Amino acid sequence: MKKKIAIIGATSGIGRALTVEMHKRGFIVGATGRRIERLQELEQQLQTHIHTQFMDVVELDDAIDQLDQLKKDMGGLDIIVVNAGVSNYQKESVGRQADLHVINVNVRGFANLASYSFNLFEEQGHGQIVGISSVAGLFGWGLNIPYNASKSFMNTYLQGYRQKANHSDADISVSTIMPGFVESEMTEGKRDLFWVQETEKAAKQIADAIERKKHEAYITKRWRLVGWFVKLIPNWMWNRM
């Protein structure tokens, strides 16, 4: 039986490349996003074993209905990847509204789908939730405040659900994926980035982590070094930067 995977936010960057990669690996893929023409392009490119569904993750109730519809179209779901996300780094819009937008997508949109997915998998007895978080979730950063905080929320939220899964009768795994910089619309034209990884290579490593049901994975692997390093920096030093 082919496994069925839904990728939320599959119209560009990491989500799109991951959709193509999982399809190549023999999965039946479900792709969502707001840009319908991009979803149609994916359908044309992959031809078979691809289902698409419009979804704006900030419309919380609609997003759940749309995930249900996708599951129905696909005849079930084994893996749900919550990848949709936005960042404010080096964007002109800063301040309260800009912060709230990031929080609406990356925190509320994410938690809405992740918690629903957990309940769904408990009911059906198995499943895997994958959150595309970020190395940014390991520290607060004055140049992208809501983004880093939102990814920190994701990390802790998923860790909690991972623990909850241990006490469930269902076979549920929860994976937190932490990319460093990856080529995508999010990083396009941005200055001062380093170790920027090609999207396809990042997608391959994410796909490996999903198939191995890893609890946590840095993408690419050398970002683990950054993870270790930032955890060593004491709070008083962060506060003075």
Ligand X SMILES: NC(=O)c1ccc[n+]([C@@H]2O[C@H](COP(=O)([O-])OP(=O)(O)OC[C@H]3O[C@@H](n4cnc5c(N)ncnc54)[C@H](OP(=O)(O)O)[C@@H]3O)[C@@H](O)[C@H]2O)c1
55 binds ligand X (CB under 6 A): yes
144 binds ligand X (CB under 6 A): no
171 binds ligand X (CB under 6 A): no
Cis peptide before 220 (omega within 30 of 0): yes
**Minimum distance from CB of 96 to ligand X (Å)?**
18
- Select the residue interacting with ligand X from 118, 121, 153, 181 (CB under 6 A): 181
Q: Is 78 within 8 Å of 4 (Cβ atoms)?
A: yes
Compare residues 122 and 184 and give the one whose CB is closer to ligand X.
184
> At which residue do the structure tokens 């319908």 appear?
36
* Helices (H), ranges, the chain: 13-24, 36-46, 60-74, 96-103, 110-124, 145-166, 199-211, 223-232, 235-240
86 binds ligand X (CB under 6 A): yes
Compare residues 134 and 205 and give the one whose CB is closer to ligand X.
134
Compare residues 12 and 124 and give the one whose CB is closer to ligand X.
12
Strands 50-54 and 171-179: unpaired
- Rounded to a whole number of angstroms, the CA Rg of the chain reads 17
**Minimum distance from CB of 235 to ligand X (Å)?**
23
Which residues lie near ligand X (CB under 6 A)?
9-15, 33-35, 38, 55-58, 83-87, 105, 132, 134, 179, 181-182, 184-187
